[in-house]
């Protein structure tokens, strides 16, 4: 016997026993309960009273009724029950056997037919009939429920396939989007154009703290878009999505969202979801999607939208970085970092030294290699503090100076990495006396509030000191060559050209250093000295003012 069958037998079996003979029905109820511990038997002495009980309490697991009763007899009672409860097991008993009564009972949907007897053995037979009928009904219900779940799962999988196709199509389209506006417009338009969703909008945090609409699709009346964000039903989930960085879902319990929330749109949307558009620790905005399907946003569907939100956030970040590279202007933000909340502030507070960022290179495992100059303290003390810090994965001394040095620090979390994650280019980062100042440039179309909010969330107490538009240096091939030419001496330039044209930089080399040096009439060490200095100037010219540096 399966676990479902065992459960169906051992759980309580509620029986309604109906017979116009009061003493008999009470005796039968006690006897049946004694025979089966699972039986819970209630009695009525008329079909009318039994129907009233059914109206009040609903159907039991089984009904046992006498055939001959005054007023409504057993057959009429059976027919009435079947109008509301077509599947509940019904056992009809009668004092005299009649093929005509049995035939009518079968036509009316009786489960079993039992002839009354004078002894108590009949109750053992009746108990078996009740138990078998209930077990069969429960098995049928369990099978129907399993089939329903399987059908629902098949429907959900088919829907998920369609949803994934929509999301994958959006992601493919995002590759061609060059600006944040194009990215957001593409997402809303593709979602609203699908058969799965009716309406979509994207909003961000406005200057006053409320949701500010950026774009929408799926509704002709643009006023409805603003109503949706201004106290509408989805405004609260959208706020939570911005705050928590997780997908939020709103389901109508009955009817449509509009019927349950006066501020919602008039459209028959039954489900809605709010998805944060985020990259790293920055939430750029929130996407709200509406559907006429009830329970439209299952856990799997939410997972798909979470991925879309992350990819959209990445695309927005990349678009803003590209905008910064191609633009001739940027927005420079000057930020103050309070005491001890970063490694640099903690170091300068403990050792009474000065800290200055020289350059940044992406490292392994999500770290940033920061090359910093620390003045006013012995290098070994800096390395000791770095070794104690949870924020520093590795630290080494690059160059020792009279009172300090240049260090390479693999830092897992810092004001620099926070600004890089939001698409900023850090131009300055200095720290002294436990406080730091950082200057970063962001694209002109980047949302300053989003950047500052992300920074303040990472470093509570931080504040924006200033914001200004700055001109970016024009870097062309001609200006680069001119800058490099000004850096090189005549000997360095000659050594670099001779080595290049002689194939010294090819692999395998066409000429050795000794051959190049001999051709120039100098010694090999002298050539190496000229080449090393020239290569240093070449790297400096290339990396200066480089956003990635």
pLDDT number for residue 336: 93
Residue 392 is assigned to a structural domain of this protein: yes
Do both 513 and 448 map to the same domain? no
Exposed/middle/buried for 115, CB within 10 Å: 0-12, 13-18, 19+?
A: middle
pLDDT in tens, 385-416: 999 999 998 999 988 988 899 999 988 888 98
pLDDT of 478 higher than 70: no
Do both 183 and 88 map to the same domain? no
If one counts the domains in the chain, the total is 4
| Cα–Cα distance, 278 to 275 (Å, whole number) | 9
pLDDT in tens, 32-89: 999 998 999 999 999 999 999 999 999 999 999 998 899 899 999 999 999 999 899 9
pLDDT number for residue 30: 92
pLDDT band at 151 (very low <50, low <70, confident <90, very high): confident
pLDDT band at 7 (very low <50, low <70, confident <90, very high): very low
- Last residue of one domain, picked from the residues 419, 442, 472: 472
Residue 156 is assigned to a structural domain of this protein: no
274, 291 in Cβ contact below 8 A? no
pLDDT number for residue 292: 82
In terms of pLDDT, which residue wins out, 179 or 64?
64
- Last residue of one domain, picked from the residues 410, 437, 472: 472
274, 305 in Cβ contact below 8 A? no
Residue 5 is assigned to a structural domain of this protein: no
Do both 308 and 355 map to the same domain? no
- We report the CATH number of the domain holding residue 107 as 3.40.50.2300
Residue 163 is assigned to a structural domain of this protein: no
% of the chain exceeding 90 in pLDDT: 31
Do both 313 and 341 map to the same domain? no
Q: What is the mean pLDDT of residues 203-209?
A: 77
Do both 124 and 249 map to the same domain? no
pLDDT in tens, 261-308: 444 444 556 788 999 998 877 788 899 998 888 778 888 888 888 999
| Cα–Cα distance, 112 to 107 (Å, whole number) | 12
In terms of pLDDT, which residue wins out, 476 or 14?
14
Q: What are phi and psi of 437, to 5 degrees?
A: -130, 135
- Last residue of one domain, picked from the residues 319, 341, 359: 319
| Cα–Cα distance, 20 to 12 (Å, whole number) | 25
pLDDT of 364 higher than 60: yes
- We report the CATH number of the domain holding residue 500 as 1.10.10
Do both 451 and 406 map to the same domain? yes
pLDDT number for residue 280: 76
* Region of poorest pLDDT, from 93-97, 140-144, 356-360: 93-97
pLDDT of 195 higher than 60: yes
CA angle at 286 for the pair 285 and 288, rounded to the nearest 5°: 155
Q: Rg of the chain over CA atoms, in angstroms?
A: 40
Domain span including residue 406: 327-472
Residue found under tokens 């399993």? 146
Residue 148 is assigned to a structural domain of this protein: no
* Region of poorest pLDDT, from 38-42, 319-323, 384-388, 416-420: 319-323
In terms of pLDDT, which residue wins out, 519 or 477?
519
Do both 259 and 380 map to the same domain? no
Do both 489 and 502 map to the same domain? yes
pLDDT number for residue 98: 66
pLDDT band at 438 (very low <50, low <70, confident <90, very high): very high
- We report the CATH number of the domain holding residue 237 as 3.30.450.40
Residue 167 is assigned to a structural domain of this protein: no
% of the chain exceeding 70 in pLDDT: 88
Do both 348 and 365 map to the same domain? yes
Residue 304 is assigned to a structural domain of this protein: yes
Do both 468 and 499 map to the same domain? no
pLDDT of 429 higher than 80: yes
Residue 147 is assigned to a structural domain of this protein: no
pLDDT band at 231 (very low <50, low <70, confident <90, very high): low
Do both 183 and 312 map to the same domain? yes
Q: What is the mean pLDDT of residues 238-251?
A: 88
* Region of poorest pLDDT, from 365-374, 471-480, 481-490: 471-480
Exposed/middle/buried for 80, CB within 10 Å: 0-12, 13-18, 19+?
A: middle
Do both 349 and 284 map to the same domain? no
In terms of pLDDT, which residue wins out, 221 or 477?
477
pLDDT in tens, 514-523: 988 888 889 9
In terms of pLDDT, which residue wins out, 226 or 285?
285
| Cα–Cα distance, 495 to 350 (Å, whole number) | 48
User: H/E/C letters for each residue in 158-206?
Assistant: HHHHHHHHHHHHHHHHHCCCCCHHHHHHHHHHHHHHCCCCCEEEEEEEC
């Amino acid at each position: 016997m399966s676990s479902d069958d065992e459960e169906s037998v051992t759980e309580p079996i509620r029986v309604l026993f109906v017979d116009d003979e009061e003493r008999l029905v009470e005796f039968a109820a006690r006897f049946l309960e004694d025979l089966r511990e699972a039986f819970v038997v209630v009695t009525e002495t008329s079909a009318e009273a039994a129907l009233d009980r059914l109206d009040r309490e609903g159907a039991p697991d089984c009904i046992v009724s006498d055939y001959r009763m005054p007023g409504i007899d057993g057959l009429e009672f059976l027919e009435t029950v079947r109008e509301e409860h077509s599947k509940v097991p019904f056992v009809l008993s009668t004092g005299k056997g009649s093929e005509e009564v049995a035939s009518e009972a079968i036509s009316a949907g009786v489960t079993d037919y039992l002839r009354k007897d004078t002894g108590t053995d009949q109750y053992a037979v009746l108990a078996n009939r009740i138990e078998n009928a209930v077990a069969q009904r429960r098995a049928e219900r369990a099978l129907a429920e399993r089939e329903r779940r399987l059908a629902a799962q098949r429907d959900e999988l088919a829907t998920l396939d369609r949803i994934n196709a929509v999301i994958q199509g959006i992601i493919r389209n995002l590759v061609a989007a060059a600006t944040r506006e194009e990215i957001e417009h593409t997402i809303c338009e593709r979602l609203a154009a699908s058969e799965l969703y009716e309406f979509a909008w994207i909003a961000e945090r406005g200057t006053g703290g409320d949701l500010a609409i950026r774009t929408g699709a799926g509704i002709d009346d643009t006023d409805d878009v603003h109503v949706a964000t201004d106290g509408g039903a989805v405004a609260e989930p959208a706020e939570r999505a911005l705050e928590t960085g997780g997908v939020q879902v709103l389901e109508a319990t009955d009817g449509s969202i509009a019927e349950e929330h006066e501020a919602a749109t008039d459209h028959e949307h039954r489900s809605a979801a709010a998805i944060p558009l985020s990259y790293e620790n920055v939430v750029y905005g929130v996407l709200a999607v509406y559907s006429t399907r009830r329970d439209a946003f299952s856990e799997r569907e939410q997972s798909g939208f979470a991925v879309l939100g992350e990819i959209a956030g990445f695309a927005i970040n990349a678009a803003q970085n590209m905008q910064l590279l191609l633009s001739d202007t940027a927005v420079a933000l000057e930020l103050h970092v309070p005491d001890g909340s970063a490694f640099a502030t903690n170091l300068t507070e403990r050792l009474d030294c000065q800290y200055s960022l020289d350059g940044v290179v992406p490292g392994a495992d999500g770290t940033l290699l920061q090359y910093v100059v620390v003045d006013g303290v012995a290098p070994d003390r800096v390395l000791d503090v770095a070794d104690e810090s949870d924020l520093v994965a590795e630290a080494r001394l690059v160059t020792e100076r009279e009172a300090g040095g240049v260090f390479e620090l693999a830092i897992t979390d810092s004001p620099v990495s926070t600004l890089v994650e939001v698409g900023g280019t850090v131009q300055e980062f200095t720290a002294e006396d436990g406080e730091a100042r950082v200057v970063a440039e962001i694209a002109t179309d980047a949302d300053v509030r989003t950047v500052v909010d992300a920074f303040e969330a990472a470093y509570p107490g931080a504040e924006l000191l200033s914001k200004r538009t700055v001109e970016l240096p024009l870097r062309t091939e001609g200006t680069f060559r001119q800058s490099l030419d000004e850096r090189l001496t005549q000997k360095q330039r000659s050594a670099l050209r001779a080595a290049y044209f002689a194939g010294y930089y090819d692999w395998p080399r066409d000429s050795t250093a000794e051959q190049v040096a001999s051709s120039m009439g100098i010694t090999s060490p002298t050539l190496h000295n000229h080449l090393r200095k020239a290569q240093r100037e070449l790297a400096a010219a290339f990396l200066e003012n480089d956003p990635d540096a």
